[in-house]
């Protein structure tokens, strides 16, 4: 075997090793980011489930309190102003519904984007890879 052929074989072997290390690093980065994505998705699902459960409990308790309060007001004014008392309670419920809709709309508009941390990490990885190339 000549010296040129031996040197070419070493060069090809070195390039293969560098490519192998690069692909291993790239796969490691992808695996880490996928694990981060999975963790964030699990946290979002758990947060949504807890939020839905506590929201339901709060809504149910609040509605029961409002219903009982409305019945109490109507019963107090049953003999004199039952229609006015009923309409006043309807007005209170409408006001509460509008306020709740406005708060919900605000919360949905101001919620941070889902998977924000994962996207930030992927952007950092992309910049690091561009710097190396």
Nearest CA among 88, 56, 55 for reference residue 71: 88
pTM of the complete model = 0.47
User: What are the C-alpha distances in Å from 63 to residues 2, 7, 50, 68, 120?
Assistant: 90, 82, 20, 8, 42
**pLDDT on residue 5:** 61
Per-residue model confidence as pLDDT tens digits over 62-107 = 888 888 988 998 899 889 988 898 898 889 888 988 898 899 888 8
Give the residue from 42, 40, 86, 92 showing the smallest Cα distance to 66. 92
The span from the CA of 100 to the CA of 109, in Å, is: 14
Domain boundaries, the chain: 3-132
Select, from the ranges 3-7, 107-111, 119-123, the one with the highest average predicted confidence (pLDDT). Answer: 107-111
1-43: pLDDT as tens digits = 565 666 666 676 777 777 777 877 888 888 888 888 888 888 8
Rounded distance between C-alpha atoms, residue 93 and residue 101, angstroms: 12
According to the model, what pLDDT value does residue 4 have? 64
């Amino acid at each position: 075997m000549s010296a040129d052929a031996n040197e070419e074989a070493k060069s090809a072997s070195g390039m293969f090793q560098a490519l192998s290390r690069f692909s291993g690093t790239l796969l490691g980065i992808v695996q880490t980011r996928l694990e981060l994505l999975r963790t964030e998705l699990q946290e979002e699902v758990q947060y949504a489930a807890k939020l839905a459960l506590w929201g339901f409990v709060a809504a149910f308790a609040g509605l029961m309190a409002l219903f009982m309060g409305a019945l109490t007001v109507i019963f107090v004014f049953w003999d004199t102003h039952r229609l006015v008392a009923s309409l006043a309670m309807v007005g209170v419920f409408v006001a509460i519904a509008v306020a709740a809709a406005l708060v919900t709309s605000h919360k949905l508009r101001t919620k941070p984007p889902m998977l924000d941390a994962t996207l930030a990490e992927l952007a950092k990885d992309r910049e690091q890879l561009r710097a190396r190339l």
